[in-house]
C-alpha cells in the first residue's frame, strides 16, 4: 500500500486551531502500518466525548466546539479518519472501503484503550462511528448523532438501480451546481440517484476543491478565506485527495452494496441498545432529512431522550451552530 503523509508545515498557523497533535500506529491489514492523528483536549480524568468528522472535513471541524466542551468540564477526543487531516493517506482508490475505515478506527480505539465514551458523529463520522460503537459496545456509555445514518437500502427498485449504474458509468461529470440541485431532492424519492451526483462529482474531480465543497454546505455563517484554506490544508496536491474522492462511493445506496450486511448486523445491536441515545439533527440538511426517525423508532435507548432539531443549520452543524451543539452534548453527558 502506497501511503502519503501531509507535511507538518501545512498545518501551521491555521485559524483557531492551536491544539497539540497525538499519533497512533495501527495495522493497515496489508502487512504495513498507518499513522492516525487525534486531538485530546481537557482533563484526562474528565468524562470523554469522542467526536468524529465526516467527508470531506477533518478534526478542524471541531475547533469551535472543543473549547466549549472542555470549558464545560469534558475531555474531547477528535480523530482524523485515514485519508483526512493529519492522518496518513493511502494513495489508491481500492485502499478505501467502509469496512477498512471501521477496522482502522477500531484498531485505533483499542490501541488507545479509550472507554466510558460518549460518542458524537456526523456525516461519515456517524456511518463509521456507529459501526465502531456497535462493535465495541463496552467502551461507550452514550451516543449522540447529527445529520448521519446507518444505511441499509431496502425497497430500491431494479429500475432505480439500473438508472444509478448507468448514471455512474455514462453520464458526464456533473457541475457542483447540478450536485446541489440533486441533493436538494434527496427526500423526494430515488435517493440513490440523487446521491449519485455527489458520488460521481467527488470521484471524477481529480483535484477536488475540498474547501469549496465544505463552505458551500454551511448555512449559519460565511467562512473566511483562511478557514476555507484550512479545510484544504491536509491536501497539498491532488494525489493526497483519494480519501475524500473515494469515500462517497462507499455509502451503501443499493441493496447489493458490500457494506449492507455489516450495517444490518449493527442495526441488530442498536435495536437492543438500552444506553442513552440522543438525536440532534438540523432542519436544513436535505441529505439526511428524516433519517433520525429510524433511530427514534428502533433504538430503545432513544426513548424519552431530549431530542433536538437544530434550526437554521445545514449539513455541517459543527460550523453552523457550535454553541448550541456543544451545550446539547455537555448537558447530555452530565445528565
pLDDT of residue 115: 96
pLDDT digits (tens, 9 = 90+) for 6-41: 999 999 999 999 999 999 999 999 999 999 999 999
C-alpha cell at 223: 467562512
Higher per-residue confidence, 247 vs 216: 247
Instruction: Indicate whether 220 pLDDT > 80.
Output: no
The pairing of strands 89-90 and 3-4 is antiparallel
Look at strands 117-122 and 308-310 and give their pairing: unpaired
User: What average pLDDT score do residues 199-215 get?
Assistant: 95
State residue 188's pLDDT score.
67
pLDDT at 147: 97
Q: Answer yes or no: 22 catalytic.
A: no
CATH code of 3-153+258-334, in short, is: 3.40.50.1820
CA distance 297 to 312: 25
- The tens digit of pLDDT for each residue in 245-281 reads 999 999 999 999 999 999 999 999 999 999 999 999 9
Task: Give CA angle at 250 (246, 252), nearest 5°.
Answer: 155
The whole-model pTM stands at 0.96
Helix axes 124-135, 260-270, angle to 10 degrees: 60
Active-site residue, from 80, 285, 292, 320: 285
Helix (H) or strand (E) holding 58: none
Give CATH 3.40.50.1820 domain extents, the chain: 3-153+258-334
Task: Give catalytic status of residue 64 as yes or no.
Answer: no
Q: What is the mean pLDDT of residues 36-55?
A: 98
H/E segment holding residue 134: helix 124-135
The pLDDT value recorded for residue 154 is 87
Catalytic residue from among 95, 103, 123, 292: 123
Instruction: Kindly name the residue from 38, 95, 315, 320 that is annotated as catalytic.
Output: 315
pLDDT of residue 289: 87
- Residue bearing the bigger pLDDT, 155 or 49: 49
Residue 79 has pLDDT above 80, yes or no: yes
Please report which confidence band the pLDDT of residue 110 belongs to, taking 50, 70 and 90 as the band edges: very high
Say what the pLDDT of residue 155 is.
85
Q: Determine whether 289 is exposed, middle or buried from the number of CB atoms within 10 Å of its CB (0-12, 13-18, 19+).
A: middle
**pLDDT tens digits, 134-184:** 999 999 999 999 999 999 998 889 999 999 999 999 999 999 999 989 988
Q: Which of 73-82, 211-220, 239-248 has the lowest mean pLDDT?
A: 211-220
Q: Is 285 a catalytic residue?
A: yes
pLDDT of residue 218: 85
Amino acid at each position: 500500500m502506497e501511503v502519503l503523509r501531509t507535511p507538518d508545515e501545512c498545518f501551521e498557523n491555521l485559524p483557531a486551531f492551536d491544539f497539540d497533535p497525538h499519533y497512533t500506529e495501527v495495522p493497515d491489514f496489508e502487512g504495513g502500518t498507518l499513522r492516525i492523528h487525534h486531538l485530546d483536549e481537557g482533563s484526562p480524568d474528565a468524562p470523554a466525548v469522542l467526536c468524529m468528522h465526516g467527508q470531506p472535513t477533518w478534526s478542524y471541524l471541531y475547533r469551535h466546539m472543543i473549547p466549549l466542551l472542555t470549558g464545560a468540564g469534558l475531555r474531547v477526543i477528535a480523530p482524523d479518519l485515514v485519508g483526512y487531516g493529519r492522518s496518513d493517506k493511502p494513495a489508491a482508490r481500492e485502499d478505501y472501503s467502509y469496512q477498512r475505515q471501521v477496522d482502522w478506527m477500531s484498531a485505533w480505539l483499542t490501541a488507545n484503550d479509550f472507554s466510558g465514551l460518549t460518542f458524537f458523529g456526523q456525516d461519515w463520522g456517524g456511518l463509521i462511528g456507529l459501526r465502531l460503537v456497535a462493535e465495541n459496545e463496552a467502551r461507550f456509555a452514550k451516543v449522540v448523532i447529527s445529520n448521519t445514518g446507518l444505511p441499509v437500502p431496502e425497497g430500491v427498485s431494479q429500475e432505480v438501480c439500473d438508472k444509478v449504474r448507468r448514471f455512474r458509468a455514462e453520464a458526464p461529470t456533473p457541475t457542483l451546481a447540478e450536485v446541489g440541485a440533486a441533493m436538494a431532492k434527496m427526500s423526494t424519492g430515488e435517493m440513490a440517484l440523487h446521491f449519485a451526483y455527489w458520488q460521481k462529482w467527488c470521484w471524477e474531480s481529480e483535484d477536488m476543491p475540498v474547501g469549496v465543497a465544505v463552505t458551500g454546505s454551511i448555512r449559519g455563517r460565511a467562512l473566511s478565506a483562511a478557514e476555507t484554506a484550512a479545510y484544504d490544508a491536509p491536501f497539498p496536491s491532488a494525489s493526497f485527495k483519494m480519501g475524500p474522492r473515494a469515500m462517497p462511493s462507499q455509502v451503501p445506496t443499493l441493496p447489493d452494496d458490500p457494506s449492507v450486511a455489516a450495517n444490518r448486523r449493527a442495526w441488530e445491536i442498536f435495536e437492543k441498545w438500552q444506553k442513552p441515545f440522543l438525536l440532534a439533527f438540523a432542519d436544513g440538511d436535505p441529505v439526511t432529512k428524516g433519517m433520525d426517525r429510524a433511530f427514534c423508532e428502533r433504538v430503545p435507548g432513544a426513548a424519552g431522550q431530549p431530542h433536538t432539531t437544530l434550526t437554521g443549520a445545514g449539513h455541517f452543524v459543527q460550523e453552523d451552530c457550535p454553541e448550541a451543539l456543544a451545550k446539547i452534548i455537555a448537558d447530555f453527558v452530565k445528565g
